[in-house]
Amino acid sequence: MSTKELCIHLTELHAKSLLNDNDTFLFDCDGVLWNFPDIFTGAVELLNYLTEHGKRLFFVTNNSTKTQDDYAKRFNDIGYKAKPEQIICSAWLTAQHLKSINFKGKCYVVGMSSMKHELEREGFQICGGIGPDPLASDANAIKTDKLELDKDVDCVISALDLHISYIKILKAATYLNRPNVLFLATNDDASLPQSDEIVMPGAGSILASVAAASCRSPTILGKPHRPMFDAICLTFPDVDPKRTVMIGDRVETDIAFGNRQGTKTLLVFTGATSEKYLDTLKQQVEKHTTERDLLPNFCVKDVGQFLQFLKSTEKSTS
C-alpha cells in the first residue's frame, strides 16, 4: 500500500496551505502543547496566532482527570483565553453521552473527582468508585459478606483512576455482571505521555482489569472513536472535517481520530510518537500489516516549529 502522500515533513509551503485551507484546528494537549507543568515553546503563541487569523480552536483530550473548567482555567493562566466550550475532554464527554441516550439511573465510576464533577453537573447520580476504597493494610483475603454493594447500579464507567484497587475492580465487575448495566469507558490509552523514563498507566490499563474481570467490552468514548467530533458538530454544525486539522502526538488516538473523521492530520514528535516509531509504522502499512489510518498527512518536530513556518510565510509575503 502506498504511503507516498503520508508522513510528509512539514515545510513552510505546507504550513501556509494548512492555514489557508482550514478553518478549524483541533489540538490534543498532553505531549502537544505541554508536558505539564512544562509548556512547550511556541505553544501559546501558536494558539493566539491561529485565533488572530480567524481560526476556530478546540482542545480534544482523552485525559479524564480534569474538567472543562480546569482546562479553561489552565489555558487562561498560561496566556490563551479559552472558553469552556472549546474544551472537549473525556469527563465532560461522558456526561454528554449519558445525556444523549436519556440515561436514568446510578453510575459506579472508577475515576477521579473530575468525573464526579462533570457527571453531577448534568444531574447524574454517582453511587461510588471515586477516590480510595481501601482494604486494611494487613488484609490477606476479601470478606465478601463485609462488602458494601449498591442494589441499583445501572452504569459502570471506567476512567483513569489513581486510586484503583482490588475492591474497586471487584465492585465494577460485580455490577457489570448484573443484567442491563451499561459499560462505558472514557478512553483506552495504555499509558500517559511522560518526559522521563517512568511509565504512567493510562485509563486503558485500568480498563483492561475491569474488562478482564467482567468479561465485558465497554463503549469507549474518547479518541480515536467518533463521539468527540460528534460533540463538536452538535454545538458547531458548520465545522467541516474537510477544512479541519487535527494536531496530536499519538497515532493510535489523535491521528486515527482525525483521519477517520476526514480531517487533515499533523503529528508532532514531542509526545508519544518518535520519528523512529513512525518510520516503523510506515513500513508496516506498506506491508499491509498495520492500518493506514494511523499515518498522519504531515509531521513536524513540535508546535513551535509549526508556528515558525507560519510566521516565515507571513514574512515572505509581506
Partner 1 sequence: MSNSVCIRLNEIHIESILNDHDTFLFDCDGVLWCSPNILPGAIELLNCLTKLGKRVFFVTNNSLKTQRGFSQWLNEIGYQAKPEQIICTAWITAQYLKSINFKGHCYCIGMQSMVEELGREGFHISDGIGPDPVPPEADWIETNTIKFDDNINCVISAFDIHINYLKIIKAATYLSRPNVLFLATNDDVTTPQTDIAILPGEGTILASIVAASGRSPTILGKPRAPMFESIRLAFPDVKPNRSIMVGDRLETDILFGNRQGLTSLLVFSGATSEKKLDTIKQAVGKNTADKDLLPKFCIKDVNHLLQLIQSREKTYS
| Interface with partner 1 (CB under 8 A), residue from 65, 94, 244, 297 | 65
Least separation in angstroms between residue 30's CB and partner 1 is 13
Of 119, 92, 93, 94, give the one whose Cα is nearest residue 106.
119
| Interface with partner 1 (CB under 8 A), residue from 1, 13, 135, 234 | 135
249 annotated as a binding-site residue = yes
Q: Which three cell numbers stand for residue 252?
A: 493510535
CB within 8 Å of 95: residues ≥ 6 apart: 118, 119, 121, 122, 124
| Interface with partner 1 (CB under 8 A), residue from 84, 105, 131, 304 | 131
Cell 477517520 appears where?
A: 260
28 annotated as a binding-site residue = yes
Q: DSSP secondary-structure letter at 95? A: H
Distance CA 48, CA 46 (A): 5
Instruction: Count residues near partner 1 (CB under 8 A).
Output: 49
Which of 2-10, 80-88, 93-101, 142-150 is the region at the interface with partner 1 (rule: CB under 8 A)?
A: 142-150
Cβ-based nearer residue to partner 1, 46 or 109: 109
Instruction: Give the burial string for 217-230 (b: 16+ CB within 10 Å, else e).
Output: ebebbbbbbebbbe
CA atoms within 13 Å, Cβ hemisphere of 243: 11
**233 scored as a contact of partner 1 (CB under 8 A):** no
Sign of the C-alpha dihedral computed for residues 151, 130, 34 and 237 taken in this order: positive
**174 scored as a contact of partner 1 (CB under 8 A):** yes
Task: Tell me, yes or no, if 69 is annotated catalytic.
Answer: no
Catalytic residue among 23, 30, 154, 254: 30
Which of 16-24, 91-99, 190-198, 251-259 is the region at the interface with partner 1 (rule: CB under 8 A)?
A: 190-198
Residues that bind partner 1 (CB under 8 A): 65, 112-113, 131-132, 134-135, 137, 139-142, 144-145, 147, 149, 161-166, 169-171, 173-174, 177, 190-191, 194, 196-202, 204-209, 211-215
